[in-house]
Structure 1
């Protein structure tokens, strides 16, 4: 049973709770029974008010999308239904039914973003095909012209045309997405993150504090080592560059980049429920992603940087999808976390 059911007495103290409720609140019946509703729902004023209103007005009430703080770093979204049960005159007892919906919301959002991403990707593949054909002709004509002329100044112009045609061809290939087959083999995720940490430390010496919070018990995963390095390096560079571009965002604190690994259980990616997945968090204390970009950051050509191509996060999305994984993020000023989920089975 997925719905948490709690029974509160007339004095608003918990009388009983089902196993789903124990799982939801991450506490045993022995710990919870006898506690007041105010204590159990201390993090949600809306939830507490719902119980009080239902008791005072003796009517059933349902509230949607309430936020509950379960433990540090674990905030969930729930629907809450409160039904008064009057056994005799006086204040009623209350049956509270709580259904967690944040996973459903995440899956719905994931499906929507994935469909939008695929639609955009298909359009770009079509554009890439149409652009590369004339680019190839342009480059070939420039090569033929280069062989026919002897004037060094004119040859410089033909070489510019050839170089720019190659540059545009490479950009078009990136727009269309990686087409290299993955080389899957057992990979230790900490080997990957340590390789990236070394690259970032060399690229941005003394500009950012690199920290780790690893779960050493994680098993190897089947993955492409070099592709994962590209993913984590792209995310790390974006984070560091954002912090350097907005030095006041940290309120005087040092720029920090944290690599964190954990195991998540019973996690759904797409339409598949995985018994266990690896979660890699890349967290920074920079300015955050602008709100108007948060729904489209994984789309190709979307960037807030004047010199950016807008292809880095699109490549991240594609590579992680090729690994049957998921990448998502939360972002606000002072804290941005990109989380990568990869199946452990």
Structure 2
């Protein structure tokens, strides 16, 4: 059996490092996690292959020199391309060789996200059920109110009095539109093969017409991503809602918004595991999202702004769900990233 081939089929990143923390072997999962090709990976020391890892290099050196094992759970890993991961780190000495150790970096982002998504989906369904029933109870009397105002308007001859019935009708229509926005799309629509980059460009052209001077849009596309089946109007709405959130986060301080597309392999969404998914990231370097909002960010009517409606992210989450995808959020001060994950054929 080919050991190298076997290790390349692991989803856990495996490296063999010496006491100078220079890798002498790395499997395919390590290349993918660190975002570095095998040739470059074997030429540099471990600390040169990432921006931040939740373990001091000296601690690793000491463990390798002493031939001791080391385990660190849920450590932060920021790769050279700015990707944030949470990993469990395990260092094990290789028997009969005091200068080499096996370093395993096991991503736990997936497990955490799966648990969060299942929990979020259950709570979101409960929230949607409540909102649908509430919308039904609001729409019935609202329709009656609007109809009565129309009938009354026909009987009135004074323009001053008609002004009041017009106001009632306008406010009734506004409330009905708000209820419709609360409900959002409920069922999958007709999907066709579309380029995600064309969808993004339509959104960005719309955004750029009114973009403040202190905010800059940056594109970072992977042109090899194939077309995917989607409702392009719905997907534009989802991307637009998230980009607008990023703009509102930066409107006072200014900054950059990066739109990035990549592919990821062996990703679990809900209860299904997909070989390849599209990861569309919308990243801003604003102040970040308050930690107390992160767990309920995609619920209807949840917002961190006084003037916000709390509907944009809820609608975006629902659109992703109708495309068999999900939205993840990573936020710390200076880096907020929303990732729309969609399965690829």
User: Is the TM-score greater than 0.5?
Assistant: yes
Checking the alignment, whether the CA contact within 8 Å between 2:15 and 2:103 is kept in structure 1 is yes
- Runs of 5+ consecutive residues of structure 1 not aligned to the other structure: none
Tell me the equivalent position of 2:311: 311
- How far off its partner does 1:235 sit? 1.6
1:238-249 aligned at under 5 Å gives the runs 238-244=245-251, 246-247=252-253
Give TM-score, length-normalised by structure 1.
Answer: 0.79
Call closer, same or farther: CA 1:308–1:272 in 2, change over 3 Å.
Answer: same
1:298 counterpart residue number: 298
Q: Residue by residue, what CA displacement relative to the aligned partner does 1:207-247 show, whole Å, maximum 9, x if unpaired?
A: 53222122122211111111122112222222222211x22
Distance in 2, Cα, partners of 1:283 & 1:97:
29
Counterpart-to-counterpart distance in 1, 2:126 and 2:154 = 43
The answer to whether 1:76 aligns with 2:85 is yes
Aligned-pair distance for 1:324? 1.0
1:43-54 to 2 correspondence within 5 Å? 43-45=53-55, 49=59
Asked if the contact 1:37/1:48 (under 8 Å) is kept, the reply is: no
Is 2:169 the partner of 1:159?
A: no
How far off its partner does 1:301 sit? 0.8
Show CA shifts across 1:242-285 (max 9, x none). Answer: 211x22xx5xxxx3222222222222211111121122222223
2:333: which partner in 1?
A: 333
Higher gyration radius (CA): 1
- How big is the shift at 1:81? 5.0
**CA displacement 1:114-162 (0-9 Å, x = unmatched):** 2222221111111111111111121122222222332322222122111
> How far apart are the structure 1 equivalents of 2:214 and 2:91?
53
Counterpart contact for 1:121–1:176, Cα < 8 Å:
yes
Determine if contact 2:49/2:79 at 8 Å carries over to the other structure.
no
Higher deviation after alignment, 108-117 or 61-70:
61-70
Distance 1:147 1:239, change over 3 A: same
3-state SS of 1:217 partner: coil
TM-score, length basis structure 2:
0.79
1:143 is the counterpart of 2:134: no
Distance 1:71 1:123 in 2: 44
Contact 1:66 1:78 (C-alpha < 8 Å) held by counterparts: yes
Instruction: Please tell me the root mean square deviation across aligned C-alpha atoms, in Å.
Output: 3.6
Q: How does 1:178-193 map to 2 (within 5 A)?
A: 178-179=185-186, 182-193=189-200
**Aligned pair 1:227/2:237, yes or no?**
no
Query: Which residue of 1 is the match for residue 7 of structure 2?
Result: none
Report what 1:106 is aligned to.
Answer: 113
Partner of 2:127: 120
Alignment of 1:342 onto 2:342: yes
Task: Classify 1:157/1:268 alpha carbon distance in 2 versus 1 (closer, same or farther; 3 Å).
Answer: same
Equivalent pairs counted in the alignment come to 333
The offset of 1:75, in angstroms, is: 4.5
Distance verdict in 2 for CA 1:339–1:165, change over 3 Å = same
